[in-house]
């Protein structure tokens, strides 16, 4: 690695390896996408637990087939990355996979700052603007139906993005944690994220339900579902399904393909 950015790879490794034997930390100056790389490795049979960090992604991917652009940050400085982009890959065998991305979101916001909120299913918001996104993909291991190699990808804006031309730009971590750079943010997040994934493997989403609802950005808001139905969002249930009180009664939304919008358009939808 030949980088001006100083990553705390060893400190992260020391905190995580007791929980995750065989764990390694890898930092790359550039790659297409950390998720794509770990998915390629898993499909080639490389299933060891790894935290793969990229200082720059050339083809970052978001949910629902969207691109994920990481910004160098206004006034870009080589020793400071404008965003944090990483993927954590590990074999997981929970009884029920429902709510995994929500549990990851809960872990991230709890590690970072009390002002951060979660927009179901897995966006991290700050002051009603998107700060971070989560993309989880899995590869079947074939041997047992229950175990899969999970790739948990996280992208967080750290510095103020360069002018986007948008009326409302995305949020960035420096708004609430000035001076915290990408390596420091990763150090705050990594070990707790691994613990959260291990807890999820044993107990499922239930232990994260309260944490999600405490940080729920949609709670009490009138939302519109993709089928046009409107209702009032009422938090998530024990498996992470969004509860929406509609004229037809309580609806539970579990498919992440269903988009849920507050009635007023969200600023980041202009992105």
Binding residues for ligand BTN, rule: CB under 6 A, are 33-35, 57, 60-63, 66, 68, 85-87, 123, 133-135, 153-155
Indicate the residue among 189 and 231 with the shorter CB distance to ligand BTN.
189
What is the C-alpha separation between 134 and 35, in angstroms, rounded?
11
Least CB distance to ligand BTN at residue 94 (A): 21
Helix %, strand %, coil % of the chain (to 5): 25, 30, 45
Largest Cα–Cα distance of the chain, in whole Å? 59
Least CB distance to ligand BTN at residue 32 (A): 8
Tally of CA atoms within 13 A in the half-sphere of 16 that contains its CB: 30
Indicate the residue among 229 and 259 with the shorter CB distance to ligand BTN.
259
Indicate the residue among 61 and 159 with the shorter CB distance to ligand BTN.
61
Indicate the residue among 123 and 237 with the shorter CB distance to ligand BTN.
123
Least CB distance to ligand BTN at residue 52 (A): 9
Sheet of 260-262, strand order:
249-253, 242-246, 230-236, 222-225, 260-262
Least CB distance to ligand BTN at residue 132 (A): 8
Indicate the residue among 136 and 231 with the shorter CB distance to ligand BTN.
136
The answer to whether residues 194 and 171 touch, using CB atoms and an 8 Å cutoff, is no
- Provide the 8-state DSSP code for 266: P
Give the residue closest to ligand BTN by C-beta: 133
Number of Cβ within 10 Å of residue 178's Cβ equals: 7
Least CB distance to ligand BTN at residue 84 (A): 8
């Amino acid at each position: 690695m030949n980088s001006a950015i100083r990553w705390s790879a060893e400190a992260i490794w020391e905190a995580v390896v007791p929980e995750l034997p065989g764990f390694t930390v890898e930092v790359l100056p550039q790659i297409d996408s950390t998720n794509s790389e770990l998915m390629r490795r898993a499909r080639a049979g490389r299933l060891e637990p790894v935290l793969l960090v990229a200082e720059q992604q050339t083809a970052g991917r978001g949910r629902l087939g969207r691109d994920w652009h990481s910004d160098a940050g206004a006034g870009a400085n080589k020793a400071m990355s404008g965003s944090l982009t990483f993927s954590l890959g590990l074999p997981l065998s929970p009884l029920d996979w429902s709510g995994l991305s929500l549990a990851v979101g809960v872990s991230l916001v709890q590690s970072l700052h009390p002002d951060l909120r979660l927009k179901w299913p897995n966006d991290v918001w700050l002051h009603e603007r998107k700060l971070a996104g989560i993309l989880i993909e899995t590869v079947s291991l074939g041997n047992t139906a229950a175990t899969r190699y999970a790739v948990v990808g996280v992208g967080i804006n750290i510095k103020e993005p360069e002018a986007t031309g948008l009326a409302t730009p995305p949020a960035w971590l420096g708004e609430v944690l000035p001076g915290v750079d990408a390596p420091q943010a990763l150090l705050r997040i990594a070990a707790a994220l691994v613990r959260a994934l291990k807890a999820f493997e044993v107990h499922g989403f239930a232990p994260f339900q309260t944490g999600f609802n405490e940080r729920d950005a949609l709670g009490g808001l009138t939302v519109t579902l993709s089928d046009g139905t409107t209702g009032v969002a009422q938090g998530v249930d024990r498996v992470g399904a969004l509860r929406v009180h509609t004229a037809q009664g309580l609806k539970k939304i579990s498919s992440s393909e269903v988009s849920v919008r507050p009635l007023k358009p969200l600023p980041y939808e202009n992105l």
